[in-house]
Structure 1
Amino acid sequence: MTNEDDTKNIYSDVHENVRKRKNSSNRNGNSIENQNSKKIHHYNHNHEEQKEEKEDEDNMLSLTLAICPAKPIQEITEQESSPLPSQPLDSLPETTPSLQVSLSESMPRPQHQVQPPPNHGTYVSSLINDNQILPARQLRVRRNPTQAPGEGKSDTVPALFPWATTQRAVIQSFNCLVAKNITTISGDVHCKKCEERYKLEYDLQDKFLEVWSFIAENKSSMHDRAPKVWMYPVLPTCEFCGQENSARPVLPPKKKQMNWLFLLLGQLLGCCTLEQLRYFCKHTKNHRTGAKDRILYLTYLGLCKQLDPSGPFDR
């Protein structure tokens, strides 16, 4: 009995295993069929989309051809396509060298040529070759700052003072004045307070020595400019009212009547106007352009050099 029971159990187990394998195989087969059907469906869907895109492209191509028709191709005639003569090359006559030269000379030249820009060198040469005279540049004549007197004025003037000369803005030398026994220099002054006008005198030797010493000591520090004591001079004290810094020198209306030596000895050249100082520099061949302190400095040195040519009055 035991063997029969065991055998039955074995058969039942085998049968159960077979049934389970069948069920599993059926399940796998169904899953594989489902996957295959999905792949087939996806492939069909993609194929249909490609078909639709191709049909759309064909429709667009036909539409563009209908809207923009192609241009007709122009037929080229035989005469236009072949510039060569209809006769064969062997039948053409041979041209001699002289004939070739005449043909080259008779060939028409192009009428329109490229013109170079005006600043090009060939443009200027073409103007010269065509006998076209270029306008000459008018040179401006520069005026010499040390020119002679203007039209209608002479180089000489009457000597209004014993120490003056007949030349404009030129005085006699110190030795010449001492030889003539001219030792006192006078000039007119006008008091600003009491309005008295009188003649003021300076000693030639004492006053000139004072100016000579001042220039010798301070020339290196002036730098070609007049110091403040020359630009704003201290005026003499009035002999009538006793007012200090009030006796101003009287300047004539005409520059040729200036009493240059009197103004130098009193160190009153700073009272002159810029035009009067330029007048002196003009006729003594000095630079007369610039500020007043420069022109005044040149006037002092010019007058001192006229008095003493060997003194320390060179620039």
Structure 2
Amino acid sequence: MNNEHEMATDQEIINRKRKSSEEDDHNHDLQLTLSSSFTPTTPIPPPPPPHFLRSTPMFNATPPPARRNRPILYWRPGKSETVPPPFPWASPRRATVQSLAHLESQQIFTITGEVQCNKCEKSYEIQYDLREKFNEVGGFIVKNKAAMRDRAPNEWLNPVLPICKFCQKQGSNVKPVIVEKKREINWLFLLLGQMIGCCNLTQLKYFCKHTNNHRSGAKDRVLYLTYLGLCKQLQPNGPFDPY
């Protein structure tokens, strides 16, 4: 009897172990099924280290330089941007001359203008070689532009005027004849003779107005803009940007 009881007990122990093993296998399979169907989310990156927060500013420390807004031109009734060109080297637009390449393609190599003596008051014409005189003015700008600081030098403010060919004596200088109608001013002749300084402030502001340049400020400021603006018209790709 004892042997039979011991055998029955051993069998129960074996059955319990087998049942426990089957339950463990079932739980393991269930974990595998759940883990295969579960898609993990993207892990959240850790916060940056303290030194990164200190070294990266929230805003730019130095703001970008402000751009200069060019003035907007409004036309009064009866006025127009275009006018009949007063000279062969002038453009139909006010206060504008043709480019150097265009003038030379049209066989225009000499620019003329009228002058008058301050002593005998006689008037006559002066001729300038277009290429030669433009090279003089352009070379002066390239050499001295940095030192000008957006202001016309004394050579432009107080130009050296030619001596009258009739009087032929010191102090008898001729000045360019600048007509009353500003749209008929001979700008190219004044540029080549470096006599734009003979214009008054109103005439210089007229040029700046119709070439989209600022026309506020003293005469040395608008005179500077006039010289560089005319050179830019003659040679658009040249180093004559006033701003």
TM-score (norm 2): 0.69
Identity level (%): 58
Q: Is the 8 A contact 1:277 1:296 kept in 2?
A: yes
DSSP-derived class of the 1:248 partner: strand
1:304 to 215, 231, 238: 231
2:222 to 295, 308, 312: 295
What one-letter code is carried by the residue in structure 1 that aligns with 2:208?
C
Q: Is the 8 A contact 1:263 1:269 kept in 2?
A: yes
DSSP-derived class of the 1:270 partner: helix
Q: How many Å separate the matches in 1 of 2:147 and 2:153? A: 9
Indicate yes or no: 2:148 matched with 1:222.
Answer: yes
* Equivalence for 1:274: 201
Deviations 1:39-83 (A, max 9, x none): xxxxxxxxxxxxxxxxxxxxxxxxxxxxxxxxxxxxxxxxxxxxx
* Equivalence for 1:286: 213
Which structure 2 residues correspond to residues 1-150 of structure 1 after superposition, within 5 A?
145-150=71-76
Q: Is the 8 A contact 1:236 1:244 kept in 2?
A: no
DSSP-derived class of the 2:116 partner: strand
1:249 to 176, 181, 193: 176
Q: Is the 8 A contact 1:148 1:155 kept in 2?
A: no
Q: How many Å separate the matches in 1 of 2:74 and 2:131? A: 33
**Distance apart, 1:244 and its partner CA:** 4.1
Q: How many Å separate the matches in 1 of 2:114 and 2:79? A: 27
Of structures 1 and 2, the one scoring higher in RCO (CA 8 A, sep 6+) is 2
Q: How many Å separate the matches in 1 of 2:221 and 2:154? A: 12
Indicate yes or no: 2:88 matched with 1:175.
Answer: no
Kindly name which structure, 1 or 2, has the bigger radius of gyration based on alpha carbons: 1
DSSP-derived class of the 2:175 partner: strand
User: Quick one: structure 1 residues 232 and 208, their matched pair in 2 at CA, closer, same or farther if it must change by over 3 Å?
Assistant: same
* Equivalence for 2:115: 189
Which structure 2 residues correspond to residues 197-236 of structure 1 after superposition, within 5 A?
197-236=123-162
DSSP-derived class of the 1:186 partner: strand
CA RMSD of aligned residues (A): 1.2
User: Quick one: structure 1 residues 306 and 275, their matched pair in 2 at CA, closer, same or farther if it must change by over 3 Å?
Assistant: same
* Equivalence for 1:81: none
Q: How many Å separate the matches in 2 of 1:252 and 1:201? A: 18
DSSP-derived class of the 2:124 partner: strand
Q: How many Å separate the matches in 1 of 2:170 and 2:185? A: 24
Deviations 1:123-151 (A, max 9, x none): xxxxxxxxxxxxxxxxxxxxx84313323
Q: How many Å separate the matches in 1 of 2:93 and 2:215? A: 18
DSSP-derived class of the 2:168 partner: coil
**Distance apart, 1:267 and its partner CA:** 0.3
Q: How many Å separate the matches in 2 of 1:200 and 1:149? A: 35
* Equivalence for 2:84: 158
Runs of 4+ in 1 over 2 A off after TM superposition: 148-151
TM-score (norm 1): 0.53
Q: How many Å separate the matches in 2 of 1:225 and 1:146? A: 23
